[in-house]
Amino acid sequence: MLLTPLLPLAAATAAYGRGGGSQQGGWRAVRSDNYDPYSQDGRFDLRARVDGEAVFFLQDGRVSYRSLSGRPPRDAGSEYRKEIPRGRMLGLRLEQRDGRGRMWIEEEPSARNNWTMVVRVSDPKGGEDRYHARITWQDDYAAGRGANRGNGRYQDERYGNYPNNNRYRRD
């Protein structure tokens, strides 16, 4: 039963780095001290040690990766104020705070990719370096627009418009 939510994420990672030397894995980011699932303003801090090139897949509070070159990435304290939402994000922004190479959002979350954000890191120099991306957004439903319109924590049950509206149902 726990594997069911991970299957779409595994399918998303399969599209990247099908070459022979790639490795994959992941970890669960932790809730920050100011965790607030009801806030309109979201924040996810991806922190990892990267050597070479890697693609990260952020879904809910999970971080998965596919290493395209170099050693596999390691968690360096990834945390979130709010999980990556299963709905449209307004004002999505990635601010690179650490790292000698580049970080960028390669694919925004959408229904097509099962609400998975894809972030790529390219570390051109030898050896690993610490990378930190602060990703911020505003929830579209909190702004009162779009497919996720509703209010409160039970919007999926009341309105039936959450992408997986049976996932959080209380019976």
The answer to whether residue 170 sits within a structural domain is no
The answer to whether residue 118 sits within a structural domain is yes
The answer to whether residue 48 sits within a structural domain is yes
Look at the pTM and tell me if it is higher than 0.85: no
19-62 pLDDT, tens digit per residue, is 446 799 999 999 999 999 999 999 999 999 999 999 999 999 99
Rounded to whole angstroms, how far apart are CA atoms 32 and 146?
28
The answer to whether residue 171 sits within a structural domain is no
Structural domain count, the chain? 1
Rounded to whole angstroms, how far apart are CA atoms 54 and 43?
21
Which domain does 21 fall in, by range?
6-159
Residue 7 has pLDDT above 50, yes or no: no
Give the pLDDT confidence score for residue 81 in this predicted structure: 97
The answer to whether residue 168 sits within a structural domain is no
The answer to whether residue 22 sits within a structural domain is yes
Please enumerate in sequence order all residues whose Cβ is within 8 A of that of 63, keeping only pairs 6 or more positions apart, or say none.
26, 27, 28, 29, 46, 48, 56, 57, 75, 78
The answer to whether residue 151 sits within a structural domain is yes
The answer to whether residue 128 sits within a structural domain is yes
pLDDT band of residue 12 (cuts 50, 70, 90) is low
